[in-house]
Amino acid sequence: MEPSTVSYYKTEYIETDTGNKVSRKSVICGSQNIILGGKTIIQTDCVIRGDLRRTGGGHAVVVAIGRYCLLSRGSIIRPPYKTYKGAFSYYSMKIGDHVTIGEGSIVEAATIGSFVHIGKNCVIGRFAIIKDCCRIEDNTVIPPNTVVPSFSIYEGSPGVFVDELPECVQDLYEAKTKDYYAKFQLRGD
C-alpha cells in the first residue's frame, strides 16, 4: 500500500540542517540532552523528555534517536527510571534507524533496535528492550523489562509473541520510512 503525500505548512514544522522535521506544537523538554540522527519526523503533540537525565555531573545524552524515524501525533518518549544500588536515577534511551512509532503510543523502553514498527496507542514499559526488525501491533502493552526478539510480532495486553516476520522486513521498513520522509513535504503555496 502506497502512502499518500502528507503536506504541511511552513509555520507548522522546523527543519534542521540534517533534515529533521520537528513540529512546533511538540513538547521537547531538555533539548540539549536529545540527539536526532537526521531525517527524523516529530509530529504535533509529541512529548520527548530529555530533562529526565541521569544523576551526576557531566554531559549526558538522554534520548538518542536514529535516522528516518517517525514519531506520530501524540506519542510520548520518556526515559526509564529505577533504583540501582540504592540510588534513584533515570537512564538513557536509544532508538535505532527506520523506527516508526504510532499515534498516541507511550515509550519508556531502554533500547529500540532498527527497523521496528510500533503501532497506535501502545505502551512500551520501562526498560523493555526491542531488538531489530520487530512489529508491535496497535494497542499492545509491552510490560516492563520485556525483551522482544528480532523478527517477531507482539500483540495484546500483556504483549505476547504471535507471529514471525520474514527476513525481507528490513528492506520493507527501510523503503517505507524513506518513502514516508520523501512524501512528507512542504505545502507549495
Partner 1 sequence: MPKEQFAIGKRAVVCQDTEMKGEIDIGSGTVLHPQCKILAESGPIIIGSNNIIEENVTIINKQPTPLIIGDENVFEVGCYVEGSKIGNKNVIEAKARILGNTSLGDNCVIGAVCSTKRDEVIPNNTVIYGDHHNRRTQTTCASQQSSLHARHLDYLREVLPKFNHVRIGGANTATESAASNHPRKVKEKEKDSSH
Nearest CA to 151 out of 172, 173, 166 is that of: 166
**Of 4 and 55, CB closest to partner 1:** 55
Minimum CB distance to partner 1, residue 59 (Å): 14
**Of 111 and 139, CB closest to partner 1:** 139
Minimum CB distance to partner 1, residue 149 (Å): 21
Nearest CA to 114 out of 37, 170, 43 is that of: 170
**Of 29 and 35, CB closest to partner 1:** 29
**Of 3 and 158, CB closest to partner 1:** 158
List residues near partner 1 by CB under 8 A: 27, 29-30, 47, 49-53, 55, 76, 78, 81, 83, 87-90, 104, 106, 108, 121, 123, 125, 139, 141, 156-158
**Of 9 and 88, CB closest to partner 1:** 88
Cα 179 from Cα 177, distance rounded (Å): 5
Record the cell numbers describing residue 9, joined without a space: 505548512
Minimum CB distance to partner 1, residue 51 (Å): 3
Residues forming beta bridges with residue 8, ordered by sequence position: 186
Minimum CB distance to partner 1, residue 33 (Å): 9
Cα 6 from Cα 15, distance rounded (Å): 15
Cα 118 from Cα 20, distance rounded (Å): 20
Minimum CB distance to partner 1, residue 83 (Å): 6
CA–CA distances in Å: residue 170 to residues 42, 113, 150, 177: 22, 11, 11, 11
